Amino acid sequence: MLLENMKMAFSALKANKMRSFLTMLGIIIGIGSVIAIVSIGDTMRKMFTDLYKDVGLTQAFIQPGYWLEDVRLSDYFTMDDIEKLKDIFGEDIEYIDSSPSVSGEVTVGRRKKNFNLNGIDFNYIDVQPVDIVYGRYINEGDVKGRKQNAVMEIEAAKEMFGSENAVGKTFRMTVYGSVMEFNIVGVYRKDMSPFQKLMMGTGNGTGEAFIPWTLLTWPNDNFYSIRYFADTDLDERSLSALNSEIVSYIARSKGRTSEDFYFSTAAEEMGAVDSVLGGVSAAVGGIAAISLLVGGIGIMNIMLVSVTERTREIGTRKALGATTGDIMIQFLTESAVLSAVGGTIGVMLAVGLVSLGGMLFSLEVVIKPAVILMAVGFSAVVGIFFGIYPAKKAASKDPIIALRYE
């Protein structure tokens, strides 16, 4: 009987192809946009999560609070502070520096290019791995001796020096008002997705190079921030305990309270970004779901027309023995099929478009099966819900009047 109803529904929908398609369009667009929006949102969340994972989720920053009105010179950090932190928390900290960077124009012969010079310690490669293609990484001697050595990113090296192997070449850049000459001791490559490049500020014509962080502690070896990477083996609780211990130690050593310092971790930031993105995609998805409602009303509308048009058919079927329930189910099946077919087309369309977009931007798209199931289920519910009234109207027709209907 159900099969028979399905067949009847399909033949009824086929009889009015254009009308059925236009009616489905509402559901197609509704379902399609809900899935597309939620999938785009999920894809972006994954991109950000990956980005933060790449940056290192245990990474943390400490600065004197920007809200302080009485910042003293002693609130700034010194090399000594870093050494003490290493001594006390060394076991749980993998890496620590002042996270310095400078940017400016680098000139080599006729070639000019903007560069970010990132100050790092020799073991930065442990927390932010790169491939050393030529030469070597920044070593302990470079850091301790404040040597003007640099490790340059391979694309930038190629652009500046015409060949990838720029080891032994030099370049100049103005740092803190005076010109410094750097020797290139190594060339590295870091594989990044286009999105990472975009977010990291590379790929837009700015070159990257690493230099010893001790070159960037101007003036007077004072600096405004400390960053560290905690051991990635720490569980969440010990990590947050470590973080608060470090903050309170610093506060104590500066004669302040923990509340006077600005502290943030990559994990926290990631959580914030993630929840904002999640909220935005839920909100936009919700708005898109309204179009589903509109689609449902479209179905109800066309079913009402169909019931009126087929009054005689309904009368005939009743005269031939159809019960009220039979007629009700026939029309309900029809609206549910209309909606489910529309929903399926919508899903295929959305998945196709999102995948195509992912291919174009070489992104790994996230399409959750749960979202598809929910959308299709919702469309079937919409079809049945908005089909109830027309089906009831059909089923309650008096066969005598229905048979006489012209």
CA distances from 332 to 308, 376, 384 (A): 15, 17, 6
For other proteins, the closer of residues 174 and 324 by Cβ is: 324
Q: In what order do the strands lie in the sheet with 93-97?
A: 93-97, 226-230, 59-64, 261-265
Q: What is the contact mask toward other proteins in residues 383 to 402, using x (rule: CB under 8 A)?
A: ----------------xx--
CA–CA dist 291, 387 (Å, integer): 17
Find the binder of other proteins among 71, 132, 282, 319 (CB under 8 A). 319
For other proteins, the closer of residues 132 and 319 by Cβ is: 319
373, amino acid identity: L
Find the binder of other proteins among 313, 349, 374, 381 (CB under 8 A). 313
Q: Is 227 in the site for other proteins (CB under 8 A)?
A: no
DSSP per-residue string spanning 149-200: EEEEEHHHHHHHHSSS--TT-EEEEEETTEEEEEEEEEEEE----HHHHHHH
| H or E element that contains 324 | helix 324-360
Q: Is 348 in the site for other proteins (CB under 8 A)?
A: no
Q: Is 1 in the site for other proteins (CB under 8 A)?
A: yes
For other proteins, the closer of residues 127 and 395 by Cβ is: 395
Side-chain-side CA neighbours of residue 406 (13 Å): 0
Q: How far is the CB of 395 from other proteins (least distance, A)?
A: 10
296 neighbors 26 (Cβ within 8 angstroms): yes
Total interface residues for other proteins by CB under 8 A: 23
- 10 Å CB burial of residue 115 (0-12, 13-18, 19+) is buried
Find the binder of other proteins among 321, 360, 362, 369 (CB under 8 A). 321
Q: Is 221 in the site for other proteins (CB under 8 A)?
A: no
Task: From 59-67, 78-86, 172-180, 309-317, give the range in contact with other proteins by CB under 8 A.
Answer: 309-317
For other proteins, the closer of residues 125 and 327 by Cβ is: 327
Closest among 205, 201, 226 to 51, alpha carbons compared: 201
In total, the chain counts a number of residues equal to 406
Q: How far is the CB of 387 from other proteins (least distance, A)?
A: 19
Find the binder of other proteins among 73, 179, 320, 370 (CB under 8 A). 320
Show Cβ contacts of residue 26 under 8 Å, excluding neighbours closer than 6 positions. 291, 292, 294, 295, 296, 297, 298, 299, 342
Interactions with other proteins, residue window 7-46 (CB under 8 A): 11-12, 14-15
Token digits for 138? 């920044």
Sort strands 178-189 and 149-153 into parallel, antiparallel or unpaired. Answer: parallel
DSSP 107: E
100, amino acid identity: P
DSSP 341: H
Find the binder of other proteins among 322, 347, 354, 365 (CB under 8 A). 322
DSSP per-residue string spanning 22-56: HHHHHHHHHHHHHHHHHHHHHHHHHHHHHHHHHH-
For other proteins, the closer of residues 116 and 330 by Cβ is: 330
Find the binder of other proteins among 19, 72, 144, 312 (CB under 8 A). 312
Find the binder of other proteins among 26, 30, 315, 390 (CB under 8 A). 315
For other proteins, the closer of residues 315 and 342 by Cβ is: 315
Find the binder of other proteins among 114, 316, 374, 380 (CB under 8 A). 316
Q: How far is the CB of 21 from other proteins (least distance, A)?
A: 17
Q: How far is the CB of 338 from other proteins (least distance, A)?
A: 16
Find the binder of other proteins among 169, 317, 328, 391 (CB under 8 A). 317
Q: Is 328 in the site for other proteins (CB under 8 A)?
A: no
302 neighbors 337 (Cβ within 8 angstroms): no
Q: How far is the CB of 19 from other proteins (least distance, A)?
A: 13
For other proteins, the closer of residues 320 and 360 by Cβ is: 320
Q: Is 170 in the site for other proteins (CB under 8 A)?
A: no
For other proteins, the closer of residues 16 and 101 by Cβ is: 16
Interface residues toward other proteins, by CB under 8 A: 1, 4, 11-12, 14-15, 312-313, 315-326, 399-400, 403
